[in-house]
């Protein structure tokens, strides 16, 4: 396998992403989005499309830049650093991977014409196998009935990838978000991003709308979920580094009892411990990207390892961030709270620590 050290191309991509996002989408941008009541800034997304990020996993003959999963992770990580909200994960990573796996055209993703949402969850915990939303055969097509929740980009999406249970088994559909019978309601979550509850009431779908084979929805969805889980791990890693950077900066300037608080050993050792956790998680996230690029069919353990580690590390980074900032860390005016809220949502999305640690354990033969 390629080493776990960044290649020259990867260093360049990271520098470019960092440079752009620092200017165009600092944490302030998230605050502005929240005040404006929108999940993301369309101007920032348009610029990402322009730079080829929307097509990062789309083949070149469909207008994509086709840079691969490790590259997608680098972009997600840099977005995490300043809490950039965009449809990148649900559209450019998850939907693009599902469509590609099923041999469908993804050019409208690369061109920025289509924003996709993924509708899988039905209860409070991630459980795709427990999907109960029904797809009843009707004429030459299907009628979908049921409900989905925790749908990222659910309100702004043009298209929805929805997992449903047909007679033949789990089936993935690619539907117009404005289809008759499909209603969307804003889900007001702590991270101030675009999430929605979706209700399907006899929504009509044709055979054309099926992604991959009827009864084999996981054939396209499983790789897409792995890609999304790896990318959200990368986002959490970037978020951890962002929160940690703010915290160490603060330790170096904040004075109490006449001295800079960074001189206190009680805080220094906690900061050094957090540094260690972030370093170990960095390896897991890089490994997930490499495995998806080089041995995608064997990547499940690597991806779950990354999601478990990244969820846990981000939790520690934001808890220490608020605690070490003291009272100011509790204020809405200060940015640290945004990190804490996004960390909690991203840790839950696409499977939390327990879900992924158990998957690692199963892959290692520890439990049945």
Residues that bind another protein (CB under 8 A): 1-5, 248, 251-252, 259-260, 262-263, 267-269, 271-273, 275-276, 279-284, 286-287, 301, 305, 308-309, 357-358, 360-361, 364-367
Sequence-distant (≥ 6) Cβ neighbours of residue 190 within 8 angstroms = 341, 344, 345
CB nearer to another protein: pick between 75 and 261: 261
Reading the block at residue 74, the tokens are: 């680098």
Task: Pick the closer one to another protein by CB: 172 or 286.
Answer: 286
For residues 24 and 267, which CB has a smaller minimum distance to another protein in the complex?
Answer: 267
Strand 141-152 to strand 134-138: parallel, antiparallel, or no bridges (unpaired)?
Answer: antiparallel
In this complex, which beta carbon is closest to another protein, that of residue 85 or of residue 287? 287
User: 280: exposed, middle or buried (C-beta count within 10 Å: 0-12, 13-18, 19+)?
Assistant: exposed
**Nearer to another protein by C-beta: 43 or 252?**
252
Q: How distant is the alpha carbon of residue 109 from its chain centre?
A: 16
Q: Nearest approach, Cβ of 7 to another protein (angstroms)? A: 11
**DSSP structure string for 271-333:** HHHHHHHHHHHHHHHHHHHHHHHH-GGG-HHHHHHHHHHHHHHHHHHHHHHHHHHGGGGGSTT
- Between 42-50 and 8-24, two packed helices, what is the crossing angle to 10 degrees? 150
Contacts of 148 (CB under 8 A, 6+ apart): 119, 120, 121, 122, 133, 162, 197, 198, 200
Q: 3 or 140: whose CB is closer to another protein? A: 3
Shortest distance, position 263 Cβ to another protein, whole Å: 4
Helix axes 336-348, 27-36, angle to 10 degrees: 80
Q: Using H for helix, E for strand and C for coil, what is the string for 213-224?
A: CCCCHHHHHHHH
Minimum Å gap between C-beta 364 and another protein is 5
Q: Contact at 8 Å (CB) between 90 and 45?
A: no
User: What's the closest the beta carbon of residue 309 comes to another protein, in angstroms?
Assistant: 5
For another protein, the closer of residues 81 and 309 by Cβ is: 309
Give the integer Cα–Cα distance in Å for 318 and 341.
Answer: 9
| Residue 28: CB minimum distance to another protein, A | 26
Smallest separation, CB 293 to another protein (Å): 12
Smallest gap from Cβ 18 to another protein, in A, equals 20
Contact (CB, 8 A) for 340 and 236 = no
Least separation in angstroms between residue 353's CB and another protein is 9
- List of residues 6+ apart from 368 with CB closer than 8 A: 362
Least distance from another protein to the Cβ atom of residue 155, Å = 35
CB of 91 or CB of 304, closer to another protein: 304
Residue with smaller CB distance to another protein, 119 or 251? 251
């Amino acid at each position: 396998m390629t080493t776990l050290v960044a290649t020259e191309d990867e260093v360049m991509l990271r520098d470019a992403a960092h440079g752009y996002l620092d200017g165009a989408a600092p944490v302030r941008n998230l605050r502005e989005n929240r005040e404006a009541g929108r999940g993301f800034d369309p101007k920032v997304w348009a610029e990402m499309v322009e730079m080829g990020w929307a097509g990062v996993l789309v083949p070149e003959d469909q207008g994509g830049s086709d840079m691969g999963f490790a590259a997608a992770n680098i972009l997600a990580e840099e977005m995490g650093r300043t809490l950039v909200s965009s449809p990148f994960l649900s559209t450019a990573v998850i939907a693009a991977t599902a469509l590609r796996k099923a041999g469908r055209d993804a050019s409208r993703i690369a061109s920025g014409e289509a924003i996709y949402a993924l509708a899988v969850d039905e209860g409070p915990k991630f459980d795709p196998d427990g999907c109960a939303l029904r797809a009843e055969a009707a004429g030459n097509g299907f009628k979908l009935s049921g409900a989905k929740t925790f749908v990222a980009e659910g309100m702004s999406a043009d298209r929805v990838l929805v997992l449903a249970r047909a007679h033949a088994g789990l089936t993935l559909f690619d539907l117009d978000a404005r289809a008759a019978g499909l209603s969307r309601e804003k889900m007001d979550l702590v991270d101030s991003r675009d999430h929605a509850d979706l209700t399907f009431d006899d929504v009509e779908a044709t055979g054309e709308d099926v992604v991959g084979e009827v009864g084999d929805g996981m054939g396209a969805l499983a790789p897409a979920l792995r890609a999304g889980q790896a990318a959200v791990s990368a986002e959490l890693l970037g978020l951890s580094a962002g929160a940690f950077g703010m915290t160490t900066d603060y330790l170096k300037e904040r004075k109490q009892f006449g001295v800079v608080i960074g001189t206190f050993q009680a805080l220094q050792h906690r900061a050094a411990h957090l540094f260690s956790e972030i370093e170990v998680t960095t390896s897991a996230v890089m490994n997930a990207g490499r495995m998806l690029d080089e041995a995608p069919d064997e990547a499940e353990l690597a991806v779950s390892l990354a999601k478990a580690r990244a969820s846990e590390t981000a939790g520690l980074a934001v808890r220490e961030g608020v605690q070490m900032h003291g009272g100011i860390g509790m204020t809405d005016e200060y940015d640290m709270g945004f990190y804490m809220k996004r960390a909690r949502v991203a840790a839950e999305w696409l499977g939390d620590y327990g879900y992924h640690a158990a998957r690692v354990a199963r892959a290692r033969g520890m439990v049945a």
